[in-house]
Amino acid sequence: MRSIFGFLYKYFQTRPTYMNWFSQLITSTIGKKLIMALTGLFLISFLIIHCTINAMIFLNDGGVTFSHWGHFMGTNPVIRTLEIGLVAGFLIHIFQGLLLIKKNRDSRPVRYQVEAPSPKSTWYSRSMGLLGTLLLLFLIMHTAHFWIPNRSNQFATGEELNLYQMMLNIFADPLIVILYVLGCISLAWHLLHGFWSAFQTLGLNHQRYNSIIHFVGTAFAIVVPLIFALMPIAIYLNWVH
Amino acid sequence: MKLTLKIWRQKNNNSKGEFKTYVHDHVSPDMSFLEMLDVLNEGLVKKGEEPVHFDHDCREGICGMCSLYINGRPHGPLQTTTCQLHMRSFKDGETITIEPWRAAAFPVVKDLVVDRSAFDRIQQAGGYVSVNTGGVPDGNAIPVPKKVADEAMDAAACIGCGACVAACKNASAMLFVSAKVSQYALLPQGQPERKERVEKMVAQMDEEGFGACTNTKACEAECPKSIKITNIARMNREYYSSMFTNYEVTVSGGGD
Ligand code: HEM
Ligand code: FES
């Protein structure tokens, strides 16, 4: 017994160095951004899958293909385990993002009277906090529409909901369609800066690869939100039914 | 030229400042911005008023002492130092708003003068190299590829004026610190302290209360010495590699 206390005492007395360097890394301004970049890229990889599966509605087969894959994603044990990582990724990105917004504001307690930033700096790069907050509001609405009811129902009854039919119902409301399109627009601007920015944060800025990173980032930031935005629009206009 | 100047006046660090408006009608387009302020101050002194305090030293764009946030941009409309900015960059009859650098880490001392010693403390934390005593080493004794030397020299061009902090919406000092980290990390002479340096300088930067980097490029766009944000990516790499692989150092910041 004594030796355990003795060990614990020593353990906390000497502050284990591995905790020291790691906590120092992730609480530094650079480490905070490292977390943003890693979770951001992880969320980007999620968007690829999410977008691909949802785009199955454009097959216009009454939701057969879409529901097949939706069922796979909703029930496969590997995917369900990865989903925990996804929720964690979102939460970490959001909390760290909000903390950074606060930290960065505190770094300039007195604002300027006149601000006329150079055109070489884009407005959306300076508005990542605003765009992120809009995305957060969108996410709350979006998960309340589909993910939360579906998972709660699975939890309560073991049955999945008919997500395809739910989409048709929800996107019959023009206001909701507009809110979804606005969400997609926020995502586009967030990614237009975020994609490239994550590479810069990771230190991956190299003349040889910069143009390809910019190209892929720009294409991704336009194509993915565009496909997403077309979903509620297509359903509202009855292209997909 | 006739100008209306809206200038931030603040008695000292503890007092609340405010904007005061001055009409200045003895301005020649050939004056530098600082000369324009000199003439304004001469008039104020003659009237028995307190002159406007602002920082300056070399007045040839090399010391980094002059500051001023002019019409919403550090060092005004051109990518130069304020001492190298001339009144021909403004229009007759224009209203010019002049503010001090705004950052928690750069407290206002008086009027337009801010305390930039946070930069000195960051430098003291790690911005140096060890040199042996003894005879002067031969020039070019250590081979350095020309491109690398150029890259290091470009980083070393930083004059520590703080325009990057002033321009950044986060009041982040990353461009400055990354230039100082880069100029040594690139060269053989900087290797002995390479890992400790970046750890200590970043720790001190955070200690001073500068913000994080959102990669907006606002700093690069305003830097009078054209320091590039490739340096920030390099500093990030240096920092990760140091934090993940360095032998343990106790980082206390150390510069005070
Ligand atoms: C699918 C959703 C999202 C994706 C794919 C995404 C992706 C990214 C990426 C790649 C970055 C760049 C990281 C870097 O600069 O190193 C970023 C930055 C950021 N994100 Fe997100 N994000 C998403 C949602 C959100 C949400 C919901 C918030 C809510 C607060 C948010 C807040 C931020 C902030 C504040 C930054 C900028 C941090 C900074 O540079 O100071 N993001 N995001
Ligand atoms: S006074 Fe020295 S750089 Fe302007």
> In the predicted model, what is the mean pLDDT of residues A193-202?
98
Q: Cα–Cα distance between A172 and B135 in angstroms, integer?
A: 84
Q: Is the pLDDT of residue A14 over 70?
A: no
Domain with residue A95: its CATH number is 1.20.1300.10
**Distance, in angstroms, between B236 CA and closest chain A CA?**
5
Q: Point out the residue among B102, B209, B244 whose CB comes nearest to the CB of A111.
A: B102
Neighbouring CB atoms inside 10 A of B9's CB total: 16
One fold for both B3-110 and B117-253? no
DSSP string, B20-79: EEEEE----TTSBHHHHHHHHHHHHHHTTPPPPP---S-SSSSS-----EETTEETTTSS
Whether A114 maps to a domain, the answer reads no
Tell how strand B108-110 and strand B95-99 pair up.
unpaired
Partner-chain contact B218 A197, CB within 8 Å = no
Query: Residue A151 — pLDDT band, cuts 50, 70, 90?
Result: very high
Positions of chain B with pLDDT lower than 70, given as ranges: 247-256
Please report whether residue A76 resides in a domain.
yes
Q: How far apart are CA B155 and CA A66, in angstroms?
A: 54
What fold does the segment set B117-253 form as a domain? Answer: Fumarate Reductase Iron-sulfur Protein; Chain B, domain 2 (1.10.1060)
Position in ligand 1 atom list of the atom nearest CA A138: 27
Q: What percent of chain A has pLDDT over 70?
A: 92
**Across residues A174-190, what is the average pLDDT?**
98
- pLDDT at residue A21 in the model: 82
Q: Do A30 and B6 touch (CB under 8 A)?
A: no
Q: Using one digit for the tens of pLDDT, what is the confidence trace for B112-144?
A: 999 999 999 999 999 999 888 888 888 788 899
Quick check: is A186 in a domain?
yes
Compute, in degrees rounded to 10, the torsion defined by CA atoms A127, A133, A139, A142. Answer: -90
What does the pLDDT average to over A137-163? 96
**Rounded mean pLDDT, A228-240:** 96
ipTM of the complex: 0.91
* Structural domain range at position A28: 15-103+123-236
pTM of the model: 0.92
Sequence ranges of the domains in chain B = 3-110, 117-253
CA of B91 to the centre of ligand 2 (A): 23
| Nearest Cα residue to B5 out of B36, B28, B29 | B36
Mean pLDDT of A227-231: 98
Q: What's the token pair of residue B133?
A: 């005593």
Report pLDDT digits (tens) over A41-99. Answer: 999 999 999 999 999 999 999 999 999 999 999 999 999 999 999 999 999 999 999 99
pLDDT value at residue A182: 98
Residues in chain A: 241
Domain B3-110 of CATH type 3.40.50.300 = no
| Residues in a beta bridge with B18 | B9
Calculate how far, in angstroms, residue B43's C-alpha sits from the geometric centre of ligand 1: 52
Tally of structural domains, chain A: 1
| A113 Cβ contact list (under 8 Å, min separation 6) | B6, B8, B19, B97, B99
